[in-house]
Amino acid sequence: MPPASQAAVLRVPQTFDLRPSARSAESATTLLGYPDELMIDWGAIPQGSKVQIYWPQASSADVVRLAMALYATEPPRAVDLNTVECTVTSRVTFVPIPFGTVPKFAGLFTVDLPPGDIAAGQQFDIIVRRVATRRASQTAPVANQPAPRVQALVTARASASRGWRYIVGTFQITIPVQSSDQLLLPAARTLSIMKWRLQQTPVANRWYPVLKRYVSYLIERVRILGLDPGKIDPSPIGFPLPVTLSSGDDTVEHTGKVCEVLFDCFGDFEGFVLETCSESRRFKTRESGIANLVLRACRDRLLLSIFVERGPAQKICKLAVRC
């Protein structure tokens, strides 16, 4: 598989939602003014993996600027106006969450695994934690009412320690490494669902650019895995991969959508054409019950599974409407 193809298959996108960091009167380099951070625990993910964080409502320049002011390590790289990229070189990476004027950021966290360092059967777990500053609501009380001079010293010390860092939320990304055959069906179904989600999302919605980028990744993955993504229709329940599989007996299953209903010169029903992602297959039959079903399936774009006998006759044994 060429490098470009490998990159598409080894790319793992994950959507996530979070609030921007809250601004304060303090400097961003002090504890009380410190922005919130993503603390990313890479686990056993291979060194050299690349991760992109896409926040359409935030500026990548702001993220890089904060990282340069706060960390001694190499800051993330700005890929475009709203995307930063990190390379995995250690067990944990910190990424500052920028300040913002919107209530929430819609985000896309995309992992690109390096080719050659992984094998089917492996699993990688990435844990992403949000770290924030906790601010005490009032100065700690002082017992026994010390002398004013001591009271002033204790108050100053208490005021200086009114903030501390703690974890406020977390999510995990689990990446099971599978073969191309195992990836194909989930990728096709996910593409169908995400196409439908994108259609239902207004362009002005904060999630629209995230979903659009997510769908573009899925389209490339499905294409590399061997299907034409243009033939996978949007559906809220997913579009099962049209396959030709043994059903466990002497029949073969073909799954797809009816694209033509055939009649002879006298107007009598004589068969239909089932279109899958990879081919169009013609079935001959004169059963009136099948005629009614395939006419409705053609009109309503229903997904059908046709079970036929093995051998050249291809006699239809059973039909199933997928929902």
DSSP SS3 for 301: coil
Compare 151 and 310 and report the one with higher pLDDT.
310
Q: What type of residue is 262?
A: L
Q: What's the pLDDT score for residue 9? A: 82
Cβ atoms of 77 and 64 within 8 Å: the answer is yes
Give the whole-number percent of the chain exceeding pLDDT 70: 81
Q: What's the pLDDT score for residue 30? A: 63
Q: What's the pLDDT score for residue 163? A: 65
Among residues 167, 109, 127, the alpha carbon closest in space to that of 45 is found at 127
Q: What's the pLDDT score for residue 246? A: 44
Compare 203 and 241 and report the one with higher pLDDT.
203
Q: What's the pLDDT score for residue 249? A: 58
Query: Does position 26 have pLDDT exceeding 70, yes or no?
Result: no
Global model pTM greater than 0.85 = no
Cβ atoms of 281 and 243 within 8 Å: the answer is no
Specify the DSSP element, H or E, that contains 54.
Answer: strand 50-54
Give the whole-number percent of the chain exceeding pLDDT 90: 43
Question: pLDDT of 223-279, one tens digit each?
Answer: 998 888 988 888 887 765 444 444 455 778 888 889 999 998 888 999 999 988 767
Specify the DSSP element, H or E, that contains 95.
Answer: strand 92-96
Query: Does position 293 have pLDDT exceeding 70, yes or no?
Result: yes
Q: What type of residue is 171?
A: F
Q: What average pLDDT is seen over the chain?
A: 83
Q: What's the pLDDT score for residue 85? A: 96
The mean per-residue pLDDT over the stretch 283-293 comes to 87
